[in-house]
């Protein structure tokens, strides 16, 4: 059993990554979301290690100690960039095939990874998000549109100023309203928010949401990947979706009836009384669901 905290270089980043668990264990990569950090998996990875899994847990671009190698690289938060970052990290660690787990932003990256390089993934687990089409401009219900208020706010100059001036206060409000009262501890909040002091973080966050709704230009370096993702109609990686029934950010309605789009295998699991962050609220159930899906789709 070993545990390494490293800075691993990809084509564009120096990635902060924690690699731990049995040295010969099958690899599982876990990708955090927003506003969060790699610390979100702390209550999940021990159960994975106990089952013989080796875990790879990176900080996404502009979180924690993950830095851009070149100061001229666009501070893009587009999802294909996150997906390509994760695939390049696996390359740098000499990992050919692996299971990938993602929450929130990480879940979006999981879906794009599954589209860009399905041959690399043995299984996928996406949390708090479903997939029916790569087109982000599908109509939303009035309830979901209201839940995404912060994304519309980020599209304005007022929203940008509010976020840049007081990012921790902004994100604390989201944590307090995206799940049942009292779902997190103060120590968990401090551990997550410590990753948001990265100087590139506000730029990447704003680009993520503005680019998602076609309000910012994407990084042209990812044009080929964007074309592949844009034309995808199904995902050919066995995929499990884990959802909190009390999620008030991404309402469960956006993850329902996704099974036709996952012909290689699909499982939809709703956790009652759980909000947007199941890995904090029910780490035992999340670990069990990850292990079950990984083992069902990994052959010896």
Alpha helices in the chain (DSSP H): 45-50, 79-92, 105-116, 142-147, 149-154, 157-165, 167-177, 186-193, 201-212, 223-230, 278-281, 283-296
Nearest C-alpha neighbor of 241 from the set 228, 252, 229, 249: 252
What pLDDT is attached to residue 255?
85
* Span 131-140, average pLDDT: 72
* Span 150-169, average pLDDT: 96
> In which band, very low, low, confident or very high, does the pLDDT at 300 lie, cut at 50, 70 and 90?
low
Distance CA 100, CA 57 (A): 10
Distance CA 3, CA 73 (A): 31
Residue 29's CATH number: 3.40.50.1820
Q: 278, 285 in Cβ contact below 8 A?
A: yes
Q: How many helices (H) and strands (E) would you count in the chain?
A: 12, 9
Q: 222-240, pLDDT tens digit by residue? A: 999 999 999 999 999 999 9
Q: 182-221, pLDDT tens digit by residue? A: 999 999 999 999 999 999 999 999 999 999 888 888 999 9
> In which band, very low, low, confident or very high, does the pLDDT at 2 lie, cut at 50, 70 and 90?
low
Residue 73: pLDDT over 70: yes
Q: What single DSSP character describes residue 84?
A: H
What pLDDT is attached to residue 254?
83
* Span 151-158, average pLDDT: 95
SS3 content of the chain, % helix, strand, coil (to 5): 45, 20, 40
Residue 137: pLDDT over 60: no
Tally of structural domains, the chain: 1
* Span 68-85, average pLDDT: 96
106's CB contacts (< 8 A; 6+ apart) are 30, 31, 32, 33, 60, 82, 127
Q: 66, 60 in Cβ contact below 8 A?
A: yes
Distance CA 49, CA 189 (A): 24
**Domain carrying residue 270:** 2-296
Distance CA 38, CA 18 (A): 9
Distance CA 190, CA 248 (A): 22
Distance CA 5, CA 275 (A): 30
* Span 166-194, average pLDDT: 97
What pLDDT is attached to residue 213?
86
What pLDDT is attached to residue 212?
86
> In which band, very low, low, confident or very high, does the pLDDT at 299 lie, cut at 50, 70 and 90?
confident
């Amino acid at each position: 059993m070993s545990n390494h905290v490293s800075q691993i270089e990809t084509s564009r980043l120096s990635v902060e990554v924690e690699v731990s668990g049995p040295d010969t264990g099958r690899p599982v990569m876990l990708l955090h979301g927003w506003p969060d950090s790699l610390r979100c998996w702390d209550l999940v990875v021990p159960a994975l290690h106990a089952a013989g899994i080796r875990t790879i847990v990176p900080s996404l671009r502009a979180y924690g100690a993950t830095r851009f190698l070149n100061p001229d690289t666009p501070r893009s938060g587009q999802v294909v960039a996150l997906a390509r970052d994760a695939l390049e990290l696996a390359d740098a660690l000499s990992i050919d095939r692996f299971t990938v787990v993602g929450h929130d932003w990480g879940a979006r990256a999981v879906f794009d990874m599954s589209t860009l390089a399905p041959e690399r993934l043995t299984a996928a687990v996406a949390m708090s998000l479903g997939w029916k089409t790569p087109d982000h401009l599908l109509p939303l219900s009035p309830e979901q549109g209201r839940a995404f208020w912060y994304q519309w706010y980020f599209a304005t100059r007022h929203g940008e100023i509010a976020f840049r001036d007081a990012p921790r206060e902004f994100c604390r409000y989201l944590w307090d309203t995206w799940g049942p009262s009292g779902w997190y501890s103060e120590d968990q909040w401090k551990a997550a928010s410590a990753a948001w002091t990265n100087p590139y973080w506000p730029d990447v966050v704003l680009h993520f949401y503005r680019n998602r709704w076609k309000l910012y230009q994407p990084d042209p370096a990812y044009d080929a990947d964007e074309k592949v993702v844009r034309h995808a109609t199904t995902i050919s990686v066995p995929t499990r979706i884990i959802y909190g029934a009390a999620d008030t950010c991404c309402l469960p309605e956006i993850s329902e009836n996704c099974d036709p789009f996952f012909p290689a295998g699909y499982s939809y699991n709703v956790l009652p009384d759980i909000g947007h962050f199941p890995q904090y609220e029910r780490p035992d159930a999340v670990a069990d669901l990850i292990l079950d899906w990984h083992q069902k789709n990994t052959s010896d």
